[in-house]
Structure 1
Amino acid sequence: MKNILFGLAILSITLFSCDDYLEEDNLSNVTAESFYNTAEGFETLVNANYAQLKDIYGGDAWLFAAGTDLYAEGRDQEPPGLSQYTQLTPSSQGVGQLYSTCYKAIQSANMAIYYSDLTEQTSDLSKRIGEVKYLRANAYFLLVQTYGGVGLVTDYIDSPVLTFDRNSAEEVYAFIISELEQSLSLVDGSSYNGRVNKRAVQHLLAKVHLTRAYESFAASDDFSKAASYADDAINGQALSIPFEELWRPGNEMNAETIFSVQFSEAANSTNPTGLGSKQHYYFSSYLGGSEVAGDAPYRSYTLCPTAFAVGLFEEGDERWEGTFMTEVFNRYYDYFDVDDHSGLTVAEYYAPKWASSDADLAAYAAANPEATIHPYGEYVPSQNRNFDYETIPVKKFDDPKAPFSSNRSSTRDLILSRLADTYLIAAEAYLQSSPATALQRLNAVRERANATPATAADLDIDYILDERARELLGEYHRWFDLKRTGKLVERASMYHYLINEGNFAGANGELKILRPIPQDAIDLNQNKDFPQNPAYN
């Protein structure tokens, strides 16, 4: 067992309300030891583990999306280390975000598992242990993908540990899989209601095996197990919800959602700009200042879709309109608030590549004389972007109820796993052993989108990555997808306008693929033999 230093978080004790959202509860009048030994107390401790997801995923999106082929800065600068790699150091902005939040989640999980041996025995206890094991495995999976081998700790520690070592990535993956296998045997198979169920575990097991399959220490059956677990999670369910409806605000708990981070207006009421998610804030240009508050979202002008991302869509693919706000009305939110759009005035129009001839643009201008027309190829990130609406807005994550703020103000659930992703995991896993089956899984996703079915000649890892881009744009998977498949350097260099292959050159002839262990963790460690990732030594 290796110990690791991490801050002992003051846990926000939470309860599930009747609508499945996490709500706060004041426990200041009881001691933790006595309270957690009760059924009610242990339940709040488990729910506190779910609340940790809000901090892991609710803040800035840099570690999930920056520095890839799909997103780049427009007018406002992203953290240069994470977005361009040349300035990536152990002290770079944003490097420690997953390190700190995941270890807080791990400490919370260790605490719950510790008290599971002491608390009152109930019929739900084993399920709750399974849920916590999933959440702990998920935190370690984020860590090992991002930083490589990290310190494994499974004991509840009630005081700081000042000396710690690193486990190998191989050991961390083995632990994650063991945790998830135990979780699968404990959680129930009920429909998703905000808690971990068997399907969520199967989906994550598929992704973990798929990711390990590319590593030098892969097991010989990792690809086949990934395919099998993905098929178990799919369980014969077709992709039947139209893509546009899938992302309608308020429809996050639809039949294709497998696991999500739960938010609510009630839970955020004490701090409306600090307890929600920032996902709605990215993936678009600036859409106006305080003068339009309530009429349009406040956007970052960073992580804007690249020319490559925009160019991946073909005519007829319903994900084009389902992903992007291609027509912005005078009041942006009228798209959601007004059922009949026929009488609304278009203020901004982003022409697709299949409707960008001079004749097409002239016809659109004649029909919409007040619209500013953005021709295809002219609304993607560049260093010359200085005005509003100059990059195409991603609308998937829009939250008309969010306060006008750059902070964590969205109360829409943040989707971590959904059925189309499971199909694409299966496609990638089957690519190694059964290309025909891989093609079937991939085409199930394309058929729902009304896209032309792919052919056997199309199918390779690049096509699968392109399909993941079309289906999952903005959904916090992309950096991990490119890192997993060994395509990060190639694709970021090819399609991100601020990156070339030389940006990845690190120390000791190593490439900056893994992120560095945060410098403050190195400095606080009394074990001075703790190794930094070699590209940063």
Structure 2
Amino acid sequence: MKAFKNITYLLLSTTLFVGCSKDFLEEDTSGFQAPNNTYTTTNGFETGLTGLYAFARLEFQTWTNDFFTQGATPQEALQVGTDIVAIKGTGTDATLAPFSNYTLNPTSSYVRNYWKFAYGLIGNSNLILSALDNPNIQWKDADQDPKRVRATADFFRAYAYRYLVSLYGDVPWVDKVSELPRTDFTRTPKQEVVQHMIADLKYAAENLPENPGSVEDGKLTKWAAYHYLAEAYLWANKPDSAIIAAQAVINAPYFRLNDQRFGVEKDLAGDYFHDMFIEKNQNRKSGNQETIWAIQLEYNSQGGGDLYTDWSKRAWVPFYAQQTGFVLADSLGGRGLGHIRPYEWWLNGYEVQDVRNSKYNIKRNWYHNDAKSPLYGTKLNITDQIKESGNVFVTTTKFFYGKTADNPAFEGNMKDRVKIRLAETFLLLAEAYLQKNDPGSAATAINVVRARAKATPVSAAQVNVDYLLDERARELLGEEMRRMTLSRFGRNVFLDRVKRLNIQSKGVIKEGNELWPIPQEVIDANSGAEFPQNLGYNN
């Protein structure tokens, strides 16, 4: 990425010590330049914050960074093996398969990589937070600058711990920079970690900028912190607090659900839901009033991405170019590999008039497009064999991207990635009401989202955990990291959903698989204290 290489080179070369250390939890800065050379002025801290944003983007960077070099689609490891998608029968990404067939183990690629990614982000956040103790910092605004810096670092620390508690359960809470290597970490109970996350997010919500129009694209505001604060309160089983946090976002004057055409293709065929997933429509300047936080990944732009950024297209877009009578085309989403396909329960959950069900948002009909083929112009009959091969299947268009002129290899998704949008905040609000056994209020929150989609309102009698998870799939397929969502709902819900809805995983998943194993090298390196493995991964 340009920002990774140009803007933050100094920071990344001197402070990414967690990712470079032998122990993923070790925070030894002795081999690097001291942070007091950088963190002495407002400008120095701005460099550090830019580094945090760059580090957070690494989750969507493939092949060319130290964390996710072992596969093309790391975030799809958080989709497979849940209730939402199948992997193709043959030729799928070998790094994804163990997470679907549950042969993953403590040395599996993404088991190790997400741990490194999260603690790397935590380590760099802690470095900035520790540097704030220096009384001699030259601030431009001595009142606001230190609060904003701390709020940003607190946000990213909590953001990283979202991954850790979702994927691994009890994990060490680390909030200090250690000058010496440590081998005596212990696993902090998840609920204790969640309380620390709440404290971080509360400070971030109180001290990040308020007006999203006053910050650069991709920069945080307090509303992103309030959204994740609502989620953290759900982890903590505090629904009343979650309701307050979610409503703070919903009642803010800056956001609304997009229900009118907007953006670069507003005068072309399409609809307002599809507009949210068209390149250059993710940020507010496009007219998108629903985005609360978008990670900047746009192809070949300052602070954006490159050919190796966000290969979600390879996962969600079928490998149609391998099917007789098809050639690569922008209109068909570019170069997909069909690594994962949505289960049909998702597709069958829509009503006909639901905007999310339109031809612009779900690609159902595939017509042969090779002008040299005798099949040209005819509709493909998608047999089970074709579907399971990954060649052609019904799928979401959220990750369609071509742009042959810019990217002949059709490699990445190449557009900014919305991490938080208002529709999910409403669904978190519904979850909070369900948690306090108020299905009527949950239905009211869900119906705001369904009204935007022109779907029939749901009644209180229909709303339960399963209905809410189904609605999240209808609204957020591919956007939410499904494993993290199911993890928040608990072991029983996780196992039940997979056993009922995932044909490939239902016969192999077992108790304990709702979590990933602790990476083996973490346990091996932690010789100074017991560091037990998660249930089911000891053999």
CA distance in 2, matches of 1:528, 1:262: 40
CA distance in 2, matches of 1:283, 1:309: 14
Q: 1:460 aligns with which of 464, 484, 500?
A: 464
CA distance in 2, matches of 1:269, 1:196: 15
Distance 1:130 1:465, change over 3 A: same
Q: What's 2:377 paired with?
A: 370
Shift of 1:57: 4.2
Does residue 439 (structure 1) correspond to residue 439 (structure 2)? The answer is: no
Shift of 1:89: 1.7
Distance 1:369 1:278, change over 3 A: closer
Question: Secondary structure of the residue that 1:416 maps to in structure 2?
Answer: strand
Which is worse superposed, 436-445 or 234-243?
234-243
CA distance in 2, matches of 1:269, 1:293: 28
8 Å contact from structure 2 (residues 369, 376) kept in 1: no
Q: What's 2:7 paired with?
A: 24
8 Å contact from structure 2 (residues 447, 457) kept in 1: yes
Distance 1:433 1:292, change over 3 A: closer
Shift of 1:271: 8.0
Shift of 1:76: 3.0
Does residue 256 (structure 1) correspond to residue 257 (structure 2)? The answer is: no
Q: What's 1:19 paired with?
A: none
Q: 1:111 aligns with which of 124, 127, 130?
A: 127
Distance 1:117 1:411, change over 3 A: farther
Q: What's 1:62 paired with?
A: 76
Provide, for residues 122-181 of structure 1, a one-character-per-residue CA deviation record: whole Å limited to 9, x for no partner: 323311210111111010121011101111111124554333221111211111111111
Q: 1:470 aligns with which of 465, 468, 474?
A: 474
Matches within 5 A, 1:64-463: 64-74=78-88, 75-77=90-92, 79-85=96-102, 87-118=103-134, 119-123=137-141, 124-157=145-178, 160-191=181-212, 193-213=217-237, 222-235=238-251, 237-241=255-259, 242-253=272-283, 254-267=288-301, 272-274=306-308, 276-288=309-321, 292=328, 296-321=333-358, 322-328=360-366, 370-374=377-381, 378=383, 385-386=388-389, 388-389=391-392, 391-401=393-403, 403=407, 409-431=412-434, 432-463=436-467
Query: So what's the TM-score if we normalise by structure 1?
Result: 0.79
Does residue 493 (structure 1) correspond to residue 499 (structure 2)? The answer is: yes
Distance 1:58 1:442, change over 3 A: farther
CA distance in 1, matches of 2:304, 2:280: 21
Shift of 1:53: 1.2
Distance 1:223 1:187, change over 3 A: same
CA distance in 1, matches of 2:157, 2:454: 38
Question: Secondary structure of the residue that 2:274 maps to in structure 1?
Answer: helix
8 Å contact from structure 1 (residues 252, 415) kept in 2: yes
Amino acid in the other structure paired with 1:122: K
Shift of 1:404: 5.2
Distance 1:465 1:160, change over 3 A: same
Structure 2: which 5+ runs fail to align?
15-32, 63-73, 260-271
8 Å contact from structure 1 (residues 13, 25) kept in 2: no
8 Å contact from structure 1 (residues 256, 418) kept in 2: yes
Provide, for residues 53-103 of structure 1, a one-character-per-residue CA deviation record: whole Å limited to 9, x for no partner: 111344512332111121111243353331122x13212232122111011
Distance 1:406 1:96, change over 3 A: farther
CA distance in 1, matches of 2:108, 2:353: 42
Q: What's 1:529 paired with?
A: 530
Query: So what's the TM-score if we normalise by structure 2?
Result: 0.79
Provide, for residues 406-452 of structure 1, a one-character-per-residue CA deviation record: whole Å limited to 9, x for no partner: 86x33311111110000011111112343222111101111111111
Count of equivalent residues: 466
Amino acid in the other structure paired with 1:370: G
8 Å contact from structure 2 (residues 296, 304) kept in 1: no
Shift of 1:477: 2.8
Shift of 1:313: 1.5
Which is worse superposed, 486-495 or 73-82?
73-82
8 Å contact from structure 1 (residues 287, 297) kept in 2: no
Amino acid in the other structure paired with 1:77: T
Amino acid in the other structure paired with 1:80: A
Question: Secondary structure of the residue that 1:96 maps to in structure 2?
Answer: helix
CA distance in 2, matches of 1:97, 1:476: 19
Provide, for residues 455-499 of structure 1, a one-character-per-residue CA deviation record: whole Å limited to 9, x for no partner: 222111111111101000111332122222232211112221212
CA distance in 1, matches of 2:225, 2:351: 34
**What percent identity do the matched residue pairs reach?**
27
CA distance in 1, matches of 2:515, 2:44: 39
Q: What's 2:19 paired with?
A: none
Q: What's 1:337 paired with?
A: none
Question: Secondary structure of the residue that 1:503 maps to in structure 2?
Answer: coil
Distance 1:515 1:421, change over 3 A: same
Which is worse superposed, 50-59 or 223-232?
50-59
Q: What's 2:36 paired with?
A: 33
CA distance in 2, matches of 1:246, 1:45: 31
Amino acid in the other structure paired with 1:452: T
Question: Secondary structure of the residue that 2:224 maps to in structure 1?
Answer: helix
Shift of 1:519: 1.2
Shift of 1:279: 2.2
8 Å contact from structure 1 (residues 307, 495) kept in 2: no
Question: Secondary structure of the residue that 2:462 maps to in structure 1?
Answer: coil
Question: RMSD of the alignment, in Å?
Answer: 3.1
Amino acid in the other structure paired with 1:297: G
Q: What's 2:264 paired with?
A: none
Which is worse superposed, 200-209 or 306-315?
306-315
Distance 1:265 1:373, change over 3 A: closer
8 Å contact from structure 2 (residues 2, 303) kept in 1: no
CA distance in 1, matches of 2:369, 2:179: 52
Amino acid in the other structure paired with 1:55: L
